[in-house]
Amino acid sequence: MKGGILAFALWGVIFALVPFAVEFLTRKSFPVHTTGAILVTGASTGIGNHAAIHLATHYPDVTVYAGVRKDVDAENIKALHLSNLLPLHIDTTDQSSMDAAVAFLHSTSLPIIGLINNAGVSTNSPIEFLPMAKLRQLLETNVVGPTYLTQQLIPSLRASQGRVVQISSVLGKVTLATRGAYCASKHAFEALSDVLRLELSGPFGVSVSVVEPAYVRTEIFGKIQQEIETLLSPELRSLYGPFFYREDQAARKKAQIAKGDSPVVTSTAIEHALFADYPKTRYVVANFAGVRADLCLFIAWMLPDRLADWLKGMM
């Protein structure tokens, strides 16, 4: 009996260590730059804002451009009085805005050593009631805009052998009811990021990493809740309310979000992706209802679809 338990424990340890061994054996080194310019999009609030401040604070020889859309957000960045943290107006749904930002970055003569594609929006609606205008806006913001911006900066990143960090989500790997549009955008973003890595890291020495957070305590969850209240038409309430918009679910969701990690976890991952000798291709960070995000993804990958669907319905 004891021998069986020990054997089971040993195999468990081996199974747990295999991913780390594989990652170590397949890791790849990239040039490390500690001077130059880094652009962080979506840096008005949340993950992007925290990352921009974190990088500027810890790397004084790097100029961090915090991408913002509003003048008030630019003033908030300036009010921090960090000489190497500068606001830059950029809207990933506006091509002319991105062109102007890229032109400005080139005019500084600083080598562009990093691009952090963080700008994004979310939505919460069953597919049946999802406005197509909302879907187009979401895909434009989360997928098309960042891809266009990356295109424009690839020549500079290739010249400097810089790095690209894509801020995705665990919902780029799994799906949840009423989050279809957001999941679709992040699934697409994951695919584009993988292709970028294939096209840039091997031939040109440009590292491409993806950060996949679960629950991180930012303003985005409050925005989602406000949107839910706006979208809940009488017909939607009658059809989907009993399944996905119950009061007990809302209370449980708030409790889960309260257990979310600080943006420190995403900023630390972004820092490693930008400055480590051996950046990872993926950083799964934070937690879901207190359970580590990487474990949640592993469980979701292991389960049959029907069983996974049932568990998601219990959330």
Residue 21 belongs to a domain: no
Q: Angle CA(144)–CA(147)–CA(152) in degrees, nearest 5?
A: 125
* Number of domains the chain contains: 1
Annotated catalytic residue: which of 59, 65, 182, 245? Answer: 182
| CATH at residue 174 | 3.40.50.720
Higher-confidence position of 117 and 306:
117
Per-residue pLDDT tens digits for 175-197: 999 999 999 999 999 999 999 99
Whether 26 is in a domain gets the answer: no
Let me know if residue 147 belongs to a domain: yes
- List, for residues 108-151, the tens digit of each pLDDT value: 989 999 999 999 999 888 999 999 999 999 999 999 999 999 99
Of 156, 165, 175, 178, nearest to 249 by C-alpha is 178
Task: Give the C-alpha distances (Å, rounded to integers) separating 171 from 47, 223, 236, 285.
Answer: 16, 17, 23, 12
Mean pLDDT of all residues in 83-105: 97
70-84, 167-181, 215-229: least confidently modelled range: 215-229
**Is the pLDDT at 219 greater than 80, yes or no?**
no
Confidence at 261, pLDDT banded by 50, 70, 90: confident
Q: If you average pLDDT over every residue of the chain, what do you get?
A: 88
For the question of residue 245 being annotated catalytic, the response is: no
Domain that holds residue 260: 32-313
pLDDT over 70, % of the chain = 83
